[in-house]
């Protein structure tokens, strides 16, 4: 097989793949379009549903909704509290189980950061040595002047 045959075969395979892909997407599009036509969304007239023509029914509807929500929360309260307690116990057990690992990790982390901080301070002092020394000299000179003025 020579290079031209390989190129031609590759192009043919790519063309076939693109045709399959296009057919797949067209099929999906038609399927979803026909599916969308079958589903009829229920239209709710909120003004009629909530107001019912007057403000009294609106207030009653709001109270009814609030009572439903309150009863739902009260029904689930025990389950929610139990799940929170279970999570706390899991977390506590996990920390107790892995206490040594955490302490060792914290220790290693502090040592690493301590070394990094030490190196940073050292390099900072090296870079700004003259500035720092001049500030210290000025400060000492000022302190001597203040002390001599007080005497």
- Give the tokens for residue 116: 């990094």
Residues 79 and 126 occupy one common structural domain: no
Please tell me the distance from the alpha carbon of residue 69 to that of residue 85, in angstroms, as a whole number: 23
Q: What is the pTM of this model?
A: 0.32
Residues 121 and 73 occupy one common structural domain: no
Helices 129-150 and 99-127 meet at what angle, rounded to 10? 80
Domain that residue 74 falls in: 62-87
Please report whether residue 30 resides in a domain.
no
Tens digits of pLDDT across the chain (151 residues)? 688 888 999 999 999 999 999 999 998 888 887 766 666 677 777 777 766 666 667 778 888 889 999 999 888 999 989 999 999 999 999 999 999 998 999 999 999 899 899 999 889 888 888 888 898 899 998 888 887 776 6
Query: What pLDDT score was predicted for residue 4?
Result: 87
Please report whether residue 50 resides in a domain.
no
Residues 103 and 150 occupy one common structural domain: yes
Residues 113 and 142 occupy one common structural domain: yes
Please report whether residue 114 resides in a domain.
yes
Please tell me the distance from the alpha carbon of residue 102 to that of residue 63, in angstroms, as a whole number: 52
Query: What pLDDT score was predicted for residue 31?
Result: 83
- Give the tokens for residue 27: 């099929």
| Cβ pair 51, 58 in contact under 8 A | yes
Domain count, the chain: 2
30-41 in b/e form (b: 16+ CB < 10 A) is eeeeeeeeeeee
Q: How far is CA 74 from CA 67, 69, 77, 87, 136, in A?
A: 10, 9, 5, 20, 69
Residues 6+ away with beta carbon under 8 Å from 50? 57, 58, 61
Kindly tell me the burial class for residue 44, based on how many C-beta atoms sit within 10 Å of its own C-beta (0-12, 13-18, 19 or more).
exposed
Please report whether residue 47 resides in a domain.
no
Residues 70 and 117 occupy one common structural domain: no
Residues 72 and 116 occupy one common structural domain: no
């Amino acid at each position: 097989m020579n290079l031209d045959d390989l190129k031609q075969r590759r192009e043919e395979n790519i063309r076939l793949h693109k045709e399959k892909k296009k057919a797949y997407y067209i099929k999906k599009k038609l399927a979803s379009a026909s599916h969308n036509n079958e589903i009829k969304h229920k239209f709710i007239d909120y003004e009629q549903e909530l107001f019912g023509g007057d403000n009294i029914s609106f207030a009653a509807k709001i109270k009814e909704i609030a009572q439903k929500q309150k009863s739902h929360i009260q029904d689930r309260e025990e389950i929610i509290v139990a799940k929170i307690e279970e999570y706390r116990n899991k977390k506590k057990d996990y920390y107790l189980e892995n206490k040594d690992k955490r302490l060792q990790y914290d220790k290693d982390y502090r040592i690493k950061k301590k070394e990094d901080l030490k190196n940073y301070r050292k390099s900072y002092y090296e870079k700004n040595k003259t500035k720092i020394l001049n500030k210290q000299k000025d400060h000492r000179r000022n302190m001597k002047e203040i002390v001599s003025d007080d005497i």
